[in-house]
Amino acid sequence: MLSNRLPQFWRPFVAILERSETPRDAPPALARYNRRVTKFAVCFLLVFGELALGGMFSLAIPPFFKIERGFYKSTACVFLASALMTTVGLGMLAWRATGHQPPGSTSLWIVCAIWVVFCALFALYVVTLWTENFALRARAFSLGLLAGLIAVSALVVLLKPASFGAIAALAYVITAVTSSMVLGLVSGAMMFGHWYLIDLGMDVDYLRSFIRLIGVALIADIVAMVLGLAVLALFGGHDATSAIADLFENHLTLFAMRMVLGPIASLVLTWMCWQTLKIPQTMAATGLLYIALMSVVVGEMLGRFILFRTALPL
C-alpha cells in the first residue's frame, strides 16, 4: 500500500484517503418516503392551512364598503400565500410518498386536490378586489370559505390514527376549526390595526369587533381541546386512552406550555387590547396584537408538536 512507502508523519492521512476510495457495499434501497418525517411536515403545514382559512374568515369582520380596498387586497394576498404554501407542501409530500404507510400517496394527493380548489376560489376572490363584480366576489368568498373548511378538515383527519375510530374525527375537526379562527382573527386584527395609520378617521369600533371575536375564539379553542380529549377518551378506544395517558405522564410540561403560552397568554393580551381601546389608543392595541400573534403562533406550533408526538389534536 502507498501508506507503507511514505514517512511515518504522512501515513495516517494517506490511510484516510485510501479508506475513502475503497468501494463500499451499495446501501439498501431506501424508500423516498419516510412516514415520521412526512407526518411531522403535515402537522406543521396544518398551521399555515389554518391561518389561511381563519384569515379569509377575518376579512368578513370589517364593513367592506367603509374600508379602503387596499386593506383587503394586501391582507388577502398574505393569507392566499399561506394557502399556497400548504398546497405546494402537500403536493411535494404526495410526490415523495410510496403508499406503503399512512398517510399514503393517494390520501395526500386527494387532500392536495382539495387545497387546490380552495386556492383557486381564494385567488378568484382576490382578483375580484380589483373589479366591481360584486356578485362574483360574494360567491367566490362564500365558496372559498366552504372549500377552506373542507380542506382544513381533510388535512387534520389525515393525521388521525385509524384505530381511534370514526367518531374521533369530530374532535380533530373541531379543534382545527377553532385554531383556524384564533390564528386568522389575531393576524387579521393585527394587520387591520395598521390601517388606522392610513385612514385616521376610521371608527375604533371596527377594531373592537375584532378584539371581541378574538376573545370568543380563544375561549372556544380551550373548550374545543377539553371536549376533544373527552370525545377521544369516550369513543376513541384503547389506543386513544393510551395516548391521553401518555400525554399526562410524559408530555405534561409540553401540554402546560401549549396552554399557558397559547390561549391563556393570548386571553390576557386580548383583555389588555380591549382596555387600551377604551382610551382609545389604536396603535398601542396593535402593538399588543403583535405580541398576541406571537403567543398564538407559539401555542399552535406546540399544539402541532403534541399532535406529532401523541396523535392528540391539541
Question: Of 129, 159, 189, which residue is a domain's last?
Answer: 159
* In the predicted structure, residue 27 carries a pLDDT above the cut 90: no
Across 38-42, 113-117, 128-132, 169-173, least confident range: 38-42
CB atoms inside a 10 Å sphere around CB 279: 10
- 73 and 196 part of one domain: no
Q: How many domains does the chain have?
A: 2
Same domain, 154 and 175: no
Query: What does the angle CA 150 – CA 180 – CA 194 come to, to the nearest 5 degrees?
Result: 130
Computed on alpha carbons and rounded to an integer, the radius of gyration of the chain in Å comes to: 25
Backbone angles phi, psi at 157, to 5 degrees: -65, -25
Segments forming the whole domain that contains residue 70 = 34-159
Residue 301 has a CB neighbour count (10 Å cut-off) of 16
Distance CA 297, CA 119 (A): 22
The predicted model gives 14-42 an average pLDDT of: 51
Q: Is the same domain home to 169 and 123? A: no
- Three-class SS state of 279: coil
Enumerate residues 6+ apart whose C-beta is below 8 A from 210: 58, 61, 185, 188, 189, 192
Look at residue 54 and tell me if it is in a domain.
yes
pLDDT at 268 over 70: yes
In the predicted model, is pLDDT for residue 30 greater than 60?
no
**Same domain flag for 41 and 142:** yes
Pull the grid cell for residue 63.
364593513
**Do 88 and 217 sit in the same domain of this protein?**
no
- Indicate whether 120 belongs to any domain: yes
Nearest one of 109, 84, 105, 86 to 96, comparing CA atoms: 105
Residues 139 and 254 in one domain: no
Is pLDDT above 50 for 17?
A: no
Tens digit of pLDDT for each residue in 273-287?
999 999 989 999 999
Q: Are residues 209 and 296 in the same domain?
A: yes
pLDDT tens profile 93-135: 888 876 566 678 888 999 999 999 999 999 999 999 999 999 9
Q: Looking at the structure, do residues 204 and 301 belong to the same domain, yes or no? A: yes
Bond prior to 103 in cis (omega within 30° of 0): yes
Q: Is residue 20 part of a domain?
A: no
The type of residue at 219 is I
Sign (positive or negative) of CA dihedral 162, 164, 166, 168: negative
- Please give the pLDDT value at position 38: 80
Summarize pLDDT for 209-249 with one digit per residue, the tens: 999 999 999 999 999 999 999 999 998 888 999 999 999 99
Is 177 a domain residue? yes
In a domain, 18, yes or no: no
Among 105, 137, 159, the domain-final residue is 159
How far is 314 from 308, CA to CA, in rounded Å? 10
Please tell me the pTM assigned to this model: 0.86
Query: Per DSSP, which regions of 244-310 are E strands?
Result: none
Other beta carbons less than 10 A from residue 199's beta carbon: 13
Produce one character per residue of 126-163: b if its CB has 16 or more CB atoms within 10 Å, e if not.
bebbeeeeeeebeebbebbbebbbbbbbbbbbbbbeee
How much is the pLDDT for 221? Answer: 94
Q: Is residue 19 part of a domain?
A: no
Residue 55 in grid coordinates:
384569515
Instruction: Please tell me whether residues 106 and 181 are part of one structural domain.
Output: no
Q: What is the predicted pLDDT for the residue at 201?
A: 85
User: In the structure grid, which three cell numbers stand for residue 270, read together?
Assistant: 386580548
171 and 153 within one domain: no
Name residue 183's amino acid.
L
Of 159, 189, 219, the last residue of a domain is: 159
Does 17 map to a domain? no
Longest dimension (CA), the chain: 87
Examine the domain organization and report whether 172 and 152 are in the same domain: no
d(CA 240, CA 251): 15
Same domain, yes or no: 192 and 62: no
Report which residue type is found at 44. F
Burial code of 201-223, b = ≥16 C-beta within 10 A, e = fewer? ebeeebbbbbbebbbebbebbbe
End-to-end CA distance of the chain: 62
230 in any annotated domain: yes
